[in-house]
Amino acid sequence: MSFIEIHDLYKKYGNTTALNGINLNIDGGQIYGILGPNGSGKTTLLKIISGIISPTSGNIAINNMNVSENKDKIKAILGYIPETPSLYESLTPIEFFNFIGSVFNINSDILNERVRAFTAALETEKYMNEFIGSLSFGTKQKIAIISSLIHDPDIIVMDEGMNGLDPRSSKIIRELLKDLTKKGKTVIFSTHIMEIAETVCDTISILYNGDIAGTGNLEKLKEEAGSSNNDLEEIFLKLTGDEDLDNLLNSLRESIE
């Protein structure tokens, strides 16, 4: 069962601080949500966890392995699904899956069975011999999800990874992620959509302006916010200091009128 330790993590882009001293411990066997508005630092955090970019300072360890020093080992046990799929658009999906299989040394019979099962579940069989560049955004996202899961990673990092999915496919992926955590795998799932965070995640960290505003299940976040309301949106607004929106709304109404 994989576990992740994040200590005093900073990331700066010039004079802009994207992450401001993040400290988190993520236990295995759960779906761990990173909830925050656009621009809060979610993508930056997940890319650092995945070894795609390096922090300015601080440390991330996965199974006691420093991510910055063990990128190849980490990539072998991790699957990363970005918000916008980045694929080899001149390949067909089946060519791309075969390429992924060769990178991870997946037995051809196992690879073929996994591809068959995933493409049947997500209804992408008919696109297997089409160029990826010709596919719709939603279909590309399905291809990205399949390619990130077919090597059976211990850690799955999804950055708004259900963007563009139809309701059927979204439900299938949600249920699959829950099944995988029962096998001890760890899912880190970022979103700005409250309903998804509330229904999918076992633990949630609220990230706001590069800081952690609260961490826990719904009950713990409710306590931290000092709220009697079980609505995650209201808890989020209290923890981020944005619960009083009346003045902004009144100003907006006046400008429209």
- What tens digit of pLDDT does each residue of 113-141 get? 999 999 999 999 999 999 999 999 999 99
Q: Which two tokens stand for residue 184?
A: 């001890």
- Contact (CB, 8 A) for 144 and 87: yes
Beta bridge partners of 20: 10
Residue 57 has φ and ψ, to the nearest 5°, of -160, 170
Q: Which two tokens stand for residue 237?
A: 């607004």
Q: Which of 238, 230, 192, 188 is nearest to 214 (CA)?
A: 238
Q: Which of 100, 103, 176 is nearest to 132 (CA)?
A: 100
CA distances from 81 to 46, 124, 149, 151, 160 (A): 10, 17, 9, 13, 8
Task: Quote the DSSP letter at residue 103.
Answer: H
Kindly tell me if the per-residue pLDDT of 76 is higher than 60: yes
CA distance 225 to 238: 6
Kindly tell me if the per-residue pLDDT of 244 is higher than 70: no
Structural domains of the chain ordered from first start? 1-77+155-166+184-257 (3.40.50.300), 85-152 (no CATH)
Beta bridge partners of 212: 207
Question: What angle in degrees, to the nearest 10, is found between the helix axes of 108-121 and 93-103?
Answer: 140
CA distance 242 to 96: 44
Mean pLDDT score of the chain: 90
- What is the length of the chain? 257
Which pLDDT score is estimated for 242? 61
Give the torsion through C-alpha atoms of 76, 79, 80, 84, to 10 deg: 130
Task: Give 161-219 pLDDT, tens digit per residue.
Answer: 888 899 999 999 999 999 999 999 999 999 887 878 888 899 999 999 999 999 998 78
Query: Between 192 and 66, where is the model more confident?
Result: 66
CA distances from 234 to 33, 105, 244 (A): 17, 47, 10
Query: Between 38 and 29, where is the model more confident?
Result: 29
Which pLDDT score is estimated for 253? 78
Please compute, for residue 53, the number of CA atoms within 13 A of its CA located in the half-sphere on the CB side: 16
Exposure class string for 108-133: b at 16+ Cβ within 10 A, else e: eeebeebbeebbeebebeebeeeebe
